[in-house]
Structure 1
């Protein structure tokens, strides 16, 4: 395994950022999954909450009326791992549709009293700090503006709203229709047309797969091959293959052995994959895309793979990286999304977000979004639930932040190159953030409960205090030496904590002594650090 990323600054037990035990006024901006769980948890702690939402309903990009997602999109996470910890889904597919996710989020808001605090049709235009007087939030509704003052602000406006586009688009008179994944409304309007889909990520694969059989021709422009795996892997949900700690074991698994194992698990699929020439021979185990259709359709000739998109000509003709050109009726750009627009936050820079969530100048301003420099993989609802819980724990003083100097130093080292994309495992982040917030079992005092959590299936209900214990291990954790992983986590704990665990019967003598034998440098921190970057050659490097 590559060396672990550098450890986080030491957390100090802080006094509350706001008045202890008081009822705070908290503004939440955005009623997508992040905003809904922020509001729900703040209400549960007795705070007064106003949730501003620019659209007419909850859901964010999962609101079909918002146009934030194309109609045929499905969750990459299964019904087992996608929901919030305390609200199981009902009547949803194994991998829910756009409409099912929206209905789930509305049910969540109704069940926990969030809808009454929502102000729909309110677009926040300005948030400014008024000295010791709190945060003044200005929102536009119709032709009017409302201003209110709050003790804290939780920004959950999302990050998937502004699609990236090439610098130069065809002339308006060019005989080609250019749209982004956000503007794609389904295959019907492309029937019988020659379509190029640009982008080798999940959206590009989804849209190219959906168009095959409807468009007269589907070309798929891929800059770099990625590892696509099906939602259903030999009858097992993709997200049930490994536990949290098993994902660390997978990262240490040699890539060629990983491909060999996939060939045994999915022989027909992997044979097709190899035949297409799209299977990455050097890989990054964790950065997996989920799509079960695109590889078979490339294999059967329903989708033709093209080199990386280079540019449009004025007449709409497309030039590829190998110098070839081709004309299309439609081009669907799936190039990801640009930086979120935080222009409504006065004097704000994203580079000043400690741990991507706390404004270092005043942590009563918090951003409950996915970090902007990441390509995230994993399930969103439990991840946002963990961030919101952390933010509220910091407000209340249950969890601490480093000194202002340490936060500044962290930001200078980690937030200076937001253009350099990295891989982000939302499942493992729920463990790290939950530990930071004090909302998960502390391995220093209750190692058994901690280990049961991280070595079991990734069902979110197990993340909440008092949630059910794991009844069985993840499907394929037996590929790894789980005892060795457990001993490496134990070895990372201070010796005094291990002594106390042994004396209290929380660990056995065998585990205690095995941890003493772990070689220096092989310890595994309980927050489960993982690689987040790749070199240009494809080999993983520390994040």
Structure 2
């Protein structure tokens, strides 16, 4: 255990909830020591650099947390992953459990217990599996679902295989959600803090003894951002007699049979769920401010979909006590049974709610902007001992998580350095100013889209000369997938117009010693 007096100037104290395997709710306390590291830039010519093995807490064992732990181990650090669930995979772990049961009369906010997963039973990825993979662990093997745009269970199996391949489970404390992080001042006297009765242990077991709080040198937040639903406030919601539901609580379409459903939000989830519901619903109205395909009008006179029962509309301007919904522009539909919000999610870090440095919050979340963060990762006031992996969205996530984690791990081991706090704050201010000039809403601060590739290249360069940028087949495949989706939204997952890109991905997988049967099968059967 690190001694608090030997670490300066700040520490993090984290309260974590013990495993729920006995009737009594146990709690244990863990100190996350946050050494304010004085890092030195690694030389670029292969000469020795300063390294130090640190004990690092990782919050979350999803796709971000797993690769973060792997990168920490590669740098010689000792990770401990705190995972609130009983399995690896994070948001990709499916559960039938929802916060608002289908068919219930409960309203928004009535849930007593939060559900982490937002997966629905029929979900398929909206990206090809090849481009989804980490850089050195190709997603070309099948665990039962051979489709290139596979279901959520296949992604979960891939993450489980990744954890097994790099022996990561031994670093995970399952059933252990982090409740709080509290800074402790420099020079705190060394002392052992004990759990009340028990402390969580590695794997799926629970301890039955008191344990002194271990000290960590850094904390990396990898808790994801697809679990806290974001809902707009629409006039008339309180009086509307139908169900108000977020897509977070959607699992299957059967409960919507014969209904009239309004789906608000036309990004990936809204588009997919509206089509799935339309197989059994009477009518579906898909609403948005803007559309993924510029050729789609804000409103459609003729319905579309497999049963020709989906209409596009602007967002609702009012919900009515008689069950009607009025859309922007004045059109109205009556007898609406369900209004579903496919309106995205909020960044949420409840364990940081009371965390202060010199009386100020380390980060704030305002209109879904997590601020201030240098390169979407480091809060300048605590860098490098507190960091975040996985905040950008509208990206190809796994490889980007890997690059972010690699940079953090190398900063912690002093292979590379961060600029000073003033420089980081100036960079953040300039970034926000650029967003304002471009007219980007604050809530889209972390939305990268096509800018993700420039960001990924920057991360690779920041890691050092031995880290190569992502190969060009990845952004090309991402673009083709998006273009095909906009052109043929009903069938894009089962057609593929670029055999050459499949060949490049397959060649890379072969060089890494991975099976390539998925690419070969798809190239022969669905390239058009």
**TM-score per shorter chain, which class?**
0.5 to 0.7
1:110/1:279 Cα in 2 relative to 1: closer, same or farther (>3 Å)?
A: farther
Equivalence for 2:463: 437
Aligned pair in 2 of structure 1 residues 279, 311: CA closer, same or farther (>3 Å)?
Answer: closer
**How far off its partner does 1:29 sit?**
0.2
* SS, match of residue 255 in structure 2: helix
- Aligned with 1:14 (options 34, 41, 48): 41
Taking structure 1 as reference, are residues 121 and 170 closer, same or farther at Cα in structure 2, changes over 3 Å only?
farther
Post-superposition offset of 1:105: 0.7
Count of aligned positions: 380
Contact 2:118 2:247 in 1 (8 A): no
Question: TM-score, normalization: structure 2?
Answer: 0.64
Question: What is aligned with 1:370?
Answer: 391
Question: Could you tell me how far apart the structure 1 residues matched to 2:243 and 2:61 are?
Answer: 33
Q: What does residue 56 of structure 2 align with? A: 26
Contact 1:226 1:279 in 2 (8 A): no
The alignment status of 1:114 with 2:168, answered yes or no, reads yes
Q: Who is 2:251 aligned against?
A: 185
1:45 to 57, 72, 75: 75
Identify which of 334, 337, 347 aligns with 1:329: 337
Q: Which runs of 5+ in 1 are unaligned?
A: 1-11, 229-273, 281-294, 443-449, 461-471, 478-543
Distance 1:212 1:309 in 2: 19
Cα 1:201–1:138 shift into 2, 3 Å: farther
Give the structure-1-normalised TM-score. Answer: 0.62
Query: How has the CA–CA distance of structure 1 residues 296 and 25 changed in structure 2, closer, same or farther, with 3 Å as cutoff?
Result: farther
Tell me the distance in 1 between the aligned counterparts of 2:186 and 2:284: 58
* 2-structure distance, mates of 1:155, 1:203: 25
Change over 3 Å in CA distance of 1:408–1:392 after alignment to 2? same
8 Å CA contact 2:40–2:50 kept in 1: the answer is no
1:399 aligns with 2:453: no
What per-residue deviation string (whole Å, max 9, x for no partner) do you get for residues 51-96 of structure 1?
0011121111111134322222222221211111222231142012
Q: CA offset at residue 123 of structure 1?
A: 1.1
Corresponding position of 1:285 = none
Structure 1 residues 29 and 296: alpha-carbon distance in aligned structure 2, compared to 1, 3 A threshold: farther
* Alpha-carbon offset, residue 47 of structure 1: 1.8
| C-alpha distance after superposition, 1:21-53 (max 9, x if no partner) | 332100000111110100111123222211001
The CA distance in 1 between the partners of 2:326 and 2:343, in whole Å, is: 16
Stretches of structure 2 lacking an aligned partner (at least 5 in a row):
1-38, 44-48, 96-115, 201-205, 357-361, 364-369, 478-498, 505-528
CA RMSD in angstroms comes to 3.8
CA shift for structure 1 position 315? 4.8
Q: Give, in angstroms, the shift of residue 300 of structure 1.
A: 6.7
Q: 2:462 is paired with a residue of what secondary structure?
A: helix
Alpha-carbon spacing, 1:278–1:309, altered in 2? closer, same or farther (3 Å): closer
2:511 maps to none
Q: Distance in 1 between matches of 2:212 and 2:257?
A: 47
| Contact 1:137–1:149, Cα closer than 8 Å, also in 2 | no
Q: What is the DSSP-based 3-state SS (H/G/I as helix, E as strand, rest coil) of the residue aligned with 1:178? A: strand
Q: Which residue of 2 aligns with 1:359?
A: 379
Q: Distance in 2 between matches of 1:420 and 1:219?
A: 25
Label 1:55 to 1:133 Cα distance change in 2 as closer, same or farther (>3 A): farther
Shift of 1:437: 1.2
Give how far 1:351 is off: 1.7
1:328 to partner: Cα distance = 0.9
Partner of 1:165: 231
Q: C-alpha deviations, 1:290-332, integer Å up to 9, x for none?
A: xxxxx99449733111222223234543221112332311111
Greater Cα offset, 321-330 or 53-62: 321-330
Please name the residue that 2:267 is paired with: 201
